[in-house]
Structure 1
Amino acid sequence: MADKYSLTLEQNIFLAKKLIVENIYNSAKLEGCNVTFPDTQTILDGISVSNLKISDIECVLNLRDAWKFLLNNIEKPFELEFVCKINSYVARNEALEWGVLRNGNVGISGTNYVPPTPAKECVIREIEKINNIENVTERAIRYFLWGMRSQLFWDGNKRTSTLCANKILIKNGKGILSVKEQDLREFNQRLAEFYNTNDYLVIEDFIYDKCIRGIDFT
């Protein structure tokens, strides 16, 4: 797998900030948050939006704060502590606990797969293994998929994994990962198959082709 983009850190941060509203909207839709793009923009502008659930508004604001933390700490090493910090923003006031590995069982709707309760040492080893993947884009996609399937946290796993994948990409100037609303149906179909089979081949090319964006210089 070749990297699609080769940007400087400054260029990639510029791109992330330019697409911040769209990225937050896409991440919110990824986990079923019932907001529109104009709703998302309005919430981020600090203006109240009527007829929205408080939980949907919190989802957007939590993603805003998680992105702010990510960009302000882009040089920090990618390890479990960083992942937990991202989840502490993303799942704030949504889950039984946030920012810590779950300590009980969960199921995933639409699949037969039941993720085991994560063991801290095993998670640390897996993150280290992923960090050793030489190609940055492959590394980011691998963490994105592994993090979602592992269900490390009580809630917010898709959002947390998206942000973590973007931390890997942005720090190395390799673009942005975001699942657009128009691609959600196929993404969810492929993701369900991935959950059931643990076969990265059923989805990683789709993510590479459809979900990695950058700056195309002329």
Structure 2
Amino acid sequence: MFEDKYNLTLEQNIFLAKKLIVENIYYSARLEGCNVTFPDTKTILDGVSVANLKMSDVEVILNLRDAWKYLIDNIEKTFDLDFACKINYFVARNESLEWGVLRNGNVSISGVDYVPSIPNKQDVIDDINEILSIENVTERAIRYFLWGMRNQLFWDGNKRTSILCANKILISEGKGILSIPEKHIREFNIRLTEFYNTNEYSKIDSFIYDNCIHGLVLKQEQAREGEEELEI
């Protein structure tokens, strides 16, 4: 269905991830409804306290920092359910009933009729393996991102966990970065609500492909000089 938009080396894609890490953490925090600005996010990540911010918002940012660090430090590990659980361990630390383990009770999603079932471990493993068998890497990452959010595998942090897992899939193969720019969050949430209710990936996957996959463009003349250009 999709073609990969970028073809980078692992080193180039890690460089891209590190270059955009503050922005990606900010976008993920905004996607969760955190009342932070980009300067707030950068200040927090620099280790400086910011007045008048809720501690819960600060914790979201610091947890995302640690999850991204784990992802990059372990980029060559195989992606599987254990990896996803480890990402959630960092993302949802001190935020939910349990973190880093599959949810074992019922949850609901605000604003939608769909109610996700309690995840069964073997079914989850089978679903992940099916997604990982998708030939195109970008399509594979988008599918995991959407599937992970809709199935609500964990008690909390499912959007953040799913986007990080999608980035593990992309970065490992040099296919760019998935993030939801602030200007697209409203449209993304509208489409996500419809996807939750219908389970129709076509309601949202092309939107993500067109607006939320970012990469590094190497121009020929720049490549000769060892220079790189970000495409955001």
TM-score bin (small chain): over 0.9
Alignment of structure 1 residues 100-115 onto 2, 5 Å = 100-115=101-116
Instruction: Say how many residue pairs are matched.
Output: 218
1:66-96: CA deviation from partner (whole Å, max 9, x where unpaired): 0000000001111000000000000000000
Where does the alignment leave 5 or more consecutive residues of structure 2 unmatched?
220-232
SS in 1 for 2:63: helix
Aligned position for 1:174: 175
Aligned position for 1:149: 150
Q: CA RMSD in A?
A: 0.5
Structure 2 residue 17 is the aligned partner of structure 1 residue 16: yes
- The percent identity for this pair of structures is 73
Amino acid of the structure 1 residue aligned with 2:152: Q
Alignment of structure 1 residues 38-49 onto 2, 5 Å = 38-49=39-50
Alignment of structure 1 residues 14-93 onto 2, 5 Å = 14-93=15-94
* C-alpha distance in 2 between matches for 1:79 and 1:164: 9
Amino acid of the structure 1 residue aligned with 2:105: G
Aligned position for 2:163: 162
* C-alpha distance in 2 between matches for 1:208 and 1:167: 16
Structure 2 residue 97 is the aligned partner of structure 1 residue 96: yes
1:104-139: CA deviation from partner (whole Å, max 9, x where unpaired): 110101111000000000000000001100100000
Where does the alignment leave 5 or more consecutive residues of structure 1 unmatched?
none
If you compute each CA radius of gyration, which structure gives the higher value, 1 or 2? 2
The runs of 4+ residues in structure 1 deviating greater than 4 Å are none
SS in 2 for 1:196: helix
| CA deviation after TM superposition for structure 1 residue 140, in Å | 0.1
* C-alpha distance in 2 between matches for 1:34 and 1:155: 18
SS in 2 for 1:215: strand
SS in 2 for 1:214: strand
| CA deviation after TM superposition for structure 1 residue 34, in Å | 1.4
Aligned position for 2:213: 212
| CA deviation after TM superposition for structure 1 residue 148, in Å | 0.2
Larger RCO: 1 or 2 (CA < 8 Å, sep 6+): 1
